[in-house]
């Protein structure tokens, strides 16, 4: 009984010690929540991504990568994600003010010894109880199990900066969107804080009047975007989830209504490419009015078509916001394929008469049919709308369900029409590309013909094949 009691006390002691030690995820969350200049943040599962690429089977380089990972895993826990945060503002070249990296070390001494083996000596900061190495714009530091890397140009006091980072990472974690995003599990996760992005912006927004700047601030306040990327068997998927403020959401010019009238008027057959837009022109005009863009639009419209036309007349009176386009392939008598296109344009109250006002370059080359509700421009009678609707590739059935959607069916496309020695050779591996986007978010899906092999491994194998062919040609 005495030993049992002692065992319980030991377990309790270790449990208490563990509870005081914040996890990597919690430390990173605290840091992002405490730094009001962080505009983007997320995680990358490096080990998982490399495994999906089947790196061990890469000729010559596979063993090198495996050796380096094995060596690195003695200092860093590669089973945990690598977390990153980007600090604003961005400069004219698109570079952030600072980039932060968080990882979990096996222990403080192992990282110090690893860097020493590479020829880098770490400085010990007794006051903050962390070790750090500094080289011009970059610094790497470790404190117990928390490893931090910082890239920040024009920084002279990395010691003070690192002390502040560790202080921020020790703050209490709050329940908010930042925490939710960081807890998301995927190969790559990237959250964007639109409010912070605006607050750190040094763009032309500062030239706007005070009332317009306040309007933009109210739209960005509390608005976030979550992006995830996953490398799966036979597909690469990017998903976007929007968490917009009510003030922003109500101004985005998307029309959530059905687009069946567009789909049934795009022809019949199996198009290789399709694009559909379903916009709310009332919201678009209101947004342009909020930011006084009507005069600028009138000037651009005149330069383009030589016509003096107001945005409110074009967006709403002439066009109703619905646009669809598809491209078919027609087999010619002399052989070969010729692309044929159908374009649907939704018309407003003065659509028929309004179309005559526009001198859009190239329209005269297309055949057209005008109706009360829409206009159809086409290049071939064969693919005009009929009782049989057009068919899309499997996996693209959602086409038209969101305000913005499209697809490109690549399987069977003649690759020789592209650069056979460039990146276009990967087209041979792709079945289709599909995308859709709406108020709540969207998706981009790249589907491979080979559905069983991870898309990342297919990309690596294709790259190695191209590299080998290039080297052989150089030798010959």
Could you say which of 160, 188, 216 is where a domain stops? 188
Instruction: Say whether both 343 and 429 belong to one domain.
Output: yes
User: Is residue 320 very low, low, confident or very high in pLDDT (cuts 50, 70, 90)?
Assistant: very high
Could you say which of 142, 157, 188 is where a domain stops? 188
Cβ of 450: how many Cβ atoms within 10 Å?
A: 14
User: Is residue 461 very low, low, confident or very high in pLDDT (cuts 50, 70, 90)?
Assistant: confident
Instruction: Say whether both 327 and 401 belong to one domain.
Output: yes
**Per-residue pLDDT for 155 more than 80?**
yes
Q: What is the per-residue pLDDT for 34? A: 96
Distance in angstroms (rounded) separating the CA atoms of residues 440 and 249: 9
**How open is the CA angle 422-424-429, to the nearest 5 degrees?**
125
Instruction: Say whether both 184 and 301 belong to one domain.
Output: no
Chain centroid to CA 89? 19
Instruction: Say whether both 290 and 183 belong to one domain.
Output: no
Instruction: Say whether both 310 and 390 belong to one domain.
Output: yes
Please check whether residue 246 lies inside any domain of the structure: no
**Per-residue pLDDT for 6 more than 70?**
no
Q: What is the per-residue pLDDT for 361? A: 66
User: Is residue 254 very low, low, confident or very high in pLDDT (cuts 50, 70, 90)?
Assistant: very high
Instruction: Say whether both 107 and 180 belong to one domain.
Output: yes
**Per-residue pLDDT for 60 more than 90?**
no
Q: What is the per-residue pLDDT for 17? A: 38
User: Is residue 475 very low, low, confident or very high in pLDDT (cuts 50, 70, 90)?
Assistant: low
Identify the weakest region by mean pLDDT among 129-133, 278-282, 444-448: 129-133
Please check whether residue 214 lies inside any domain of the structure: no
Instruction: Say whether both 181 and 290 belong to one domain.
Output: no
Q: What is the per-residue pLDDT for 16? A: 37
Could you say which of 188, 204, 228 is where a domain stops? 188
Distance in angstroms (rounded) separating the CA atoms of residues 248 and 216: 9
Q: How many domains does the chain have?
A: 2
Please check whether residue 245 lies inside any domain of the structure: no
Identify the weakest region by mean pLDDT among 66-70, 328-332, 373-377: 66-70
3-state secondary structure the chain: CHHHHHHHHHHHHHHHHHHHCCCHHHHHHHHHHHCCCEEEEEEECHHHHHHHCCHHHCCCHHHHHHHHHHHHCCCECCCCCEEEEEEEEECCCCCEEEEEEEEEECCHHHHHHHHHHCCCCCEEECCCCEEEEEECCEEEEEECCEEEEEECCCCCCHHHHHHHHHHHHCCCCCCCHHHHHHCCCCCEEEEEEHHHHHHCCCCHHHHCCHHHHHHHHHHHCCCEEEEEEEEEECEEEEEEEEECCHHHHCCCCECCCCCHHHHCCCCCCCCCEEEEEEECHHHHHHHHHHCCCHHHHHHHHHHHHCCCCCHHHHECCCEEEEEEEEEEEEECCCCCEEEEEEEEEEECCCHHHHHCCCCCCCHHHCEEEECCCEEEEECCHHHCCCCCCCCCCCCCCCCCCCCEEEEEECCCCCHHHCCCCCHHHHHHHEEEEEEEEECCEEEEEEEECCCCCEHHHHHHHHHHHHHHHHHHHHHC
Instruction: Say whether both 163 and 270 belong to one domain.
Output: no
Q: What is the per-residue pLDDT for 1? A: 41
Domain of 349 in residue numbering reads as: 252-475
Please check whether residue 238 lies inside any domain of the structure: no
Q: What is the per-residue pLDDT for 3? A: 34
Please check whether residue 194 lies inside any domain of the structure: no
Instruction: Print burial letters for 271-287: b (CB count within 10 Å at least 16), e (below 16).
Output: bbbbbbbbbbbebbbee
Q: Rounded mean pLDDT of 254-273?
A: 90
Q: Rounded mean pLDDT of 433-460?
A: 94
Instruction: Say whether both 257 and 183 belong to one domain.
Output: no
Please check whether residue 52 lies inside any domain of the structure: yes
Q: What is the mean pLDDT of the chain?
A: 85
List phi, psi (to 5°) of 321: 105, -5
Please check whether residue 335 lies inside any domain of the structure: yes
Distance in angstroms (rounded) separating the CA atoms of residues 323 and 346: 6
Q: What percent of the chain has pLDDT over 90?
A: 46
Distance in angstroms (rounded) separating the CA atoms of residues 430 and 432: 6
- Asked whether the whole model's pTM tops 0.85, one would answer yes
**Per-residue pLDDT for 103 more than 80?**
yes
Instruction: Say whether both 468 and 376 belong to one domain.
Output: yes
Distance in angstroms (rounded) separating the CA atoms of residues 97 and 160: 17
Please check whether residue 243 lies inside any domain of the structure: no
Instruction: Say whether both 445 and 339 belong to one domain.
Output: yes
């Amino acid at each position: 009984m005495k030993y049992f009691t002692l065992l319980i006390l030991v377990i309790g002691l270790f449990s208490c010690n563990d509870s005081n030690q914040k996890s990597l995820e919690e430390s990173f969350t605290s840091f992002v929540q405490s730094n009001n200049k962080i505009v983007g943040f997320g995680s990358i599962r490096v080990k998982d991504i490399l495994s999906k690429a089947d790196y061990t089977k890469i000729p010559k380089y596979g063993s090198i990568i495996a050796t380096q990972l094995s060596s690195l895993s003695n200092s860093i826990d590669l089973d945990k994600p690598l977390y990153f945060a980007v600090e604003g503002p961005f400069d004219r070249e698109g570079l952030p003010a600072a980039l932060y990296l968080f990882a979990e070390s096996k222990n403080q001494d192992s990282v110090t010894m690893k860097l020493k083996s590479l020829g880098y000596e770490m400085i010990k900061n007794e006051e903050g109880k962390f070790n750090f190495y500094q080289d011009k714009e970059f610094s790497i530091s470790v404190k117990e199990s928390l490893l931090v890397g910082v890239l920040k140009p024009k920084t002279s006091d990395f010691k003070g900066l690192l002390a502040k980072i560790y202080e921020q990472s020790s703050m209490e974690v709050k329940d908010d969107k930042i925490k939710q995003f960081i807890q998301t599990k995927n190969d790559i996760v990237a959250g964007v804080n639109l409010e912070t992005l605006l607050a750190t912006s040094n763009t032309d927004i500062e030239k706007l009047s005070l009332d317009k700047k306040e309007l933009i601030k109210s739209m960005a306040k509390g608005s976030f975007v979550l992006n995830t990327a996953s490398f799966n068997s036979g597909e690469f998927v990017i998903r976007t989830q929007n968490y917009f403020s009510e003030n922003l959401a109500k101004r985005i010019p998307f029309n959530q209504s059905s687009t069946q009238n567009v789909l049934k008027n795009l022809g019949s057959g199996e198009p290789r490419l399709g694009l559909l837009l379903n916009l709310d022109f009332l919201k678009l005009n209101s947004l342009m009015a909020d930011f006084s863009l009507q005069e600028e639009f009138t000037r651009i419209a005149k330069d383009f078509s030589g016509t003096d036309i107001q945005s409110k007349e074009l967006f709403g009176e002439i066009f109703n916001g619905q646009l669809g386009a598809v491209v078919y392939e027609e087999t010619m008598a002399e052989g070969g394929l010729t692309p044929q296109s159908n374009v649907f344009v939704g018309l407003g109250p003065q659509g028929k008469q309004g179309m005559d006002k526009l001198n859009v370059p190239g329209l005269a080359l297309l055949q057209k049919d005008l109706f009360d509700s829409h206009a159809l421009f086409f290049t071939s009678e064969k693919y005009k709308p009929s009782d049989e609707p057009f068919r899309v590739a499997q996996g693209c059935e959602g086409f038209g369900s969101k305000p913005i959607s499209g697809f490109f069916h690549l399987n069977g496309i003649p690759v020789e029409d592209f650069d056979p020695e460039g990146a276009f050779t990967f087209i041979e591996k792709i079945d289709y590309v599909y995308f859709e986007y709406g108020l709540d978010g969207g998706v981009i899906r790249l589907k491979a013909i080979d559905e069983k092999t991870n898309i990342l491994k297919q990309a690596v194998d294709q790259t190695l094949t191209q590299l080998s062919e290039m080297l052989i040609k150089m030798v010959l």
